[in-house]
Chains A and B, each alone.
Chain A
Amino acid sequence: MIPRECVTLTLMLTRRTFVGLGLALVARRTLAFGEAARLMFAQVRHGGRWDPRPDGLSRLAWEISKRTSIETSPMVKAMALADPELFRYPMAVLSSDQAFPPPADNEVSELRRYLSYGGFLLIDDASGTRGGAFEQSARQLVSRIVPAAQLGRVPRDHVLYKSFYLLEGPAGRVAATPDLEALELGGRLAVLYSGNDLVGALARDSLGTWEFEVTPGGELQREKSIRLGVNVAMYALCLDYKEDQVHIPFIMKRRRI
């Protein structure tokens, strides 16, 4: 019998093993090396309204933990771009629903250093408005990170869309833009721009109900948003793992289905 990492593994295991595995999983999570071993998002604290979806990232972390093997922390670290502690959190999220003041030069310099040494920044436009004030602020910031570069469209066959789920395209609370955009550094996506309020689709209130309606696709679009969030986190941690030769035949087969 070949153990599998997919659903079929559960079916092939005995009930006793399955119960054992469940216990081991719980035990494992109590053994983790503190927060450092878990995926914890850093929320960039900028001069504008930096936390438009206070619960969104925690919800994304929870979904990732529930759906994948990634260990996540429900905590979100809010910190300024110039904070040296930012380097303990290689995945950061910059968000707002309005314009934000341009960061200082030293902050841009630190962000450039953060990204060039392996950090990943998700920029999420919570306004969901194409060409809105936040988008303009974000584009200005990106142009200051690498002056000669600008955000470019992420092609649909990019590994980002197959890092865990097989996705057809971007998703979010709204469908304002048809594509994700990104800034590439050293052969990997270092900055990812979502114009559809990705985190907003995951936000819940204190009672656990969805905070925002998702349009125009409804709950199906919300599920796609969650899956995109999972894929983004998986990409940040695994980069182009799913482009290794061993995966290609399987992915090609499923794409055809």
Chain B
Amino acid sequence: MTALAAAVWLSFRGFRTEPAGRRRMALLVFRLMAALLVLVLLLEPGIELRAESRVRARVALLFDTSRSMKFPSAPSGPTRAEELQRWAAQHHADLAQLAARFQVDVYGFDKELQPADLGRLPTDPQGPSTDILGALNAAASGGTGGRPLAGLFVASDGADNAELSQGVSPAAAAELRRLNAPVFVLPVGAQALKDLAVEKIAVDDFAFVRNQVTVDVIVTARGFGSTEVPVVLRREGQVVAQKTIHIDGSRSRYELKLTFVPDRTGKFAFTVTVPVYDGEAIAQNNSRSFVLKVIRDRVRVLLVVGRPSWDVRFLRQLLKRDPNVDLISFFILRTPGDDPHSSQDELSLIPFPTQEIFQEQLKTFDVVIFQNFNHRPYRMSQYLDGIAAYVLGGDQSFSAGDYAGTPIEEVLPVALLPSGPTAVDETPAQVHLTESGRRHPITELATAGSQNESIWAALPRLPGLNTIGPLKGGAQTLLVSSEGRPILVIGEAGRGRVLALLSDSSWYWSFVAAGAQQGPRAYETFWHSAIRWLVRDPALTPMRVAAERPSFEPGGEAPALDVQVRGSDYGAAAGAQIAVVTSSATDPVPRPMGAALAGPDGSARVILPPLPAGAYKATVTAKRADGSAVGEAEDAFVVAPASRELIEAAPRPDLLQAIAEATKGRVVDTSDALATLPWRDPERVEVGQRTSKPLWDNWKVLALLCLVVGTEWTLRRRWGYA
């Protein structure tokens, strides 16, 4: 174009001195026409012919099909899903009107979006979660034929548990605006706005006994005015912690901490509950359960010693070295008959805190060891009730320690004789395993049976034994002398266990054995195993039951228990009859729930019937074919929804309103007609056929160019120009 303009300008310069204006004008016109024709040839102009038609915009209707829609829309009313169905039936004509104007796409949504039939919305929705934003995005980008989006319609309870679970964040609002279409929302179940829920519990999987446990609880309250709400933590029905929160209606989430100190080990089901108030949307979310395993951090051992001896010295040294043992020891260093030839201030002795130990602190110990201890001078018999576990031994113990007739004798696995010269038998004793001792973990010094037996047989002889009366029912003798005198007898007493070692020379198995080139390993293994057995170390429990999982889904899913049946002698109880009873926090009465027969290896799986939501304790008992009891074991489990869909199911019309506001849509009432909503109606045409016709590609243009150029040349020559 510039070149053409320059050429015209230069040519005009050549005849601008022409005095005749008509000539000058004629030349200029011809040259301009020539330039124009050259330009036409260069630009190749043409005409395009198109067949066009107008396109209908698209409307997406989204209906919530998540499981929260199964909750009632109003107290004692139909479910939210049923309410939605009723709305669809009432709006049949309205929707037909809408379909006349727009392409209407109908979807169901929960975790994902899927096409749906408006006439067949589910009455029993099973969607595992609710993702409203994801559904809107998917619906907006879907559709056929690239139709413009006139708007979206969402019918839901608003119980989102995905990106909008915490409300419409700035990022979510920006994403909603990018839809570029209004979202009209129909809140379902909004009539049941009142709801109190234990929304979340945070607690470790395990805790240490006698150490404070903190349970973080989040309670949500919607539709409540100013009120005080008690939050209670129960362990299998028993209240262990309680706090009151003040709900003032200004916010919906309330965080609190419940603390308690577990007093025994095991696996327990806990439940956090808030009261169910009249008119609440959902009663099921007013309690939540969890299972907590309480373990020992260290075994607390109280060692009470009648007088210093080598047996005491080696045992105390062993326990002190054990990082898993917290040892408190008290030695009687001086009896009333001893005369130290000094004043009290020259001695390092302290008063023996009998009352403090045996009345105030006793329950804080896992194991109490009376070693060669004559309790009578210290008048301790009044305190000896309720001790969990004992280990005794020595010439001041058992019959010789005047324990006959005391509470100690009641829990001992052996009967005692009156104190007298025969209370101790000084005949050296070679140790042998009994049949029970061959299987029992306390006396397992080697995994191979024959090797275990030979280790015990090789240990140094003990210099003497306590004399006892007959064994009590349920007692087991694990070690005997060559002549059959009991050396180690164990038994159970209430929730505790008792171990009676009828010697004060177990140190022979350490130091004297070391002198015989055997080393102290047998001694150390024996005592470590004994302590573990006494405190019911789970690894040494003969009969075990374990729920397949700590939590099961309510309805449908049947809880399964794996049972391992071994007798107290640790032998597999093949063919034992297993019976399971369960109790829960709300129903403490044990109910029979299942039975099975133990296999050849003593194991069995018991499938329980599906249980309603709650915290359960399963107690498994096993009996032999002859009816004799084998043992009992317990485990705890919870039946509770794992998904947030059923936990955080309260309707959230506020969230739906925020979505509508972010997209310039609005909240729709059930009586509103969809066809009358202010849908966006953008113009969109569709091109059917297209034809192009060139305007320059013919002889006429060329002939005209030749004519113009020729005329201009002729005139220029006639008027005397070069």
Contacts and interface: CB of A to CB of B under 8 A. Distances in A.
Contacts of B334: 5-6, 67-69
Given A3-B378, A4-B352, A244-B328, A87 B344 contact: no
Contact of A3 (B308, B352, B463): B352
Interface string B512-540: 10111001100000000000000000000
Nearest to B512: A87
A227 B343 CA distance: 13
Contacts of B378: 3
Interface in A1-41: 1-10, 13, 17-18, 21-22, 24-25, 27-28, 30-37, 39
A85 B353 CA distance: 39
A233 B577 CA distance: 58
Given A2-B353, A6-B334, A68-B338, A28 B348 contact: no
Interface string A177-193: 00000000000100000
B379 to A, nearest CB: 6
Majority secondary structure of chain A interface residues (helix, strand, loop or mixed): helix
A223 interface: yes
A5 B332 contact: yes
A34 B463 contact: yes
A246 interface: yes
A245 to B, nearest CB: 9
B40 interface: no
Contact of A247 (B346, B350, B395, B463): B350
A234 B307 CA distance: 10
Contacts of A5: 332-335, 349-352
Interface in B98-130: none
A69 B504 contact: no
Given A70-B308, A87-B516, A238-B308, A30 B421 contact: yes
Interface residues of A, number: 69
Interface stretch (A49-57, A121-129, A133-141, A159-167): A159-167
Which among B328, B374, B514 has the greatest number of chain A C-beta atoms within 10 A? B514
A119 interface: yes
Given A32-B395, A238-B331, A7 B515 contact: no
Contact of A25 (B312, B337, B520): B337
B238 interface: no
B339 A67 contact: yes
A118 B516 contact: no
Contacts of B336: 9-10, 13, 18, 21-22, 25
B341 A25 contact: no
Given A21-B336, A69-B308, A165 B348 contact: yes
Interface string B4-24: 000000000000000000000
Nearest to A7: B344
Interface in B308-342: 308-314, 316-317, 320, 328-342
Interface stretch (A96-104, A142-150, A200-208, A249-257): A249-257
B333 A28 contact: no
Contacts of B353: 2, 246
Which among B308, B328, B402, B464 has the greatest number of chain A C-beta atoms within 10 A? B308
B306 A69 contact: yes
Interface in B73-90: none
B568 interface: no
Contacts of B351: 2, 4-6, 8
A24 B376 contact: yes
A6 B419 CA distance: 26
Interface in B520-566: 520
A222 to B, nearest CB: 11
Contacts of B510: 117-118
Which among B310, B394, B421 has the greatest number of chain A C-beta atoms within 10 A? B310
Contact of B426 (A2, A33, A39, A166): A33
Nearest to B312: A237
Nearest to A230: B340
A41 B556 CA distance: 75
A9 B351 CA distance: 9
B30 interface: no
Nearest to B515: A87
Nearest to A70: B308
A88 interface: yes
A71 B424 CA distance: 16
A130 interface: no
Which among A18, A90, A240 has the greatest number of chain B C-beta atoms within 10 A? A90
Contacts of A67: 334, 338-341
A241 interface: yes
A195 B520 CA distance: 33
Given A3-B378, A241-B331, A31 B340 contact: no
Given A7-B344, A119-B511, A22 B328 contact: no
Contacts of B317: 118, 188, 239
Given A3-B354, A33-B395, A164 B345 contact: no
A113 interface: yes
Interface string B354-380: 110000000000000000001011111
B185 interface: no
Contact of A28 (B350, B395, B508): B395
Contacts of B421: 30-31
A165 B340 contact: yes
Interface string A58-100: 0000000011111100000000000011111010000000000
A242 B336 CA distance: 20
Given A70-B308, A164-B347, A33 B331 contact: no
Interface string B296-312: 00000000001111111
B383 to A, nearest CB: 11
A33 to B, nearest CB: 4
A87 B342 CA distance: 34
Nearest to A38: B309
B348 A250 contact: yes
A163 B342 CA distance: 15
B308 A237 contact: yes
B615 interface: no
A136 to B, nearest CB: 29
Contacts of A84: 515-516
Given A36-B464, A36-B505, A246-B353, 20 more contacts: A3-B379, A5-B351, A6-B347, A6-B350, A13-B336, A21-B336, A22-B336, A28-B374, A31-B423, A35-B463, A36-B463, A37-B395, A165-B348, A238-B331, A241-B316, A241-B331, A244-B329, A247-B350, A254-B348, A257-B345
28 contacts: A2-B355, A5-B349, A6-B351, A22-B336, A24-B402, A25-B335, A32-B395, A33-B426, A33-B503, A33-B504, A34-B426, A36-B463, A37-B504, A39-B309, A39-B310, A69-B308, A70-B307, A90-B313, A118-B510, A119-B511, A164-B349, A165-B340, A165-B348, A166-B345, A236-B313, A238-B313, A242-B348, A247-B348
A-B residue pairs, 8 tightest by C-beta: A87-B515, A36-B463, A33-B464, A237-B308, A69-B307, A117-B514, A3-B378, A4-B351
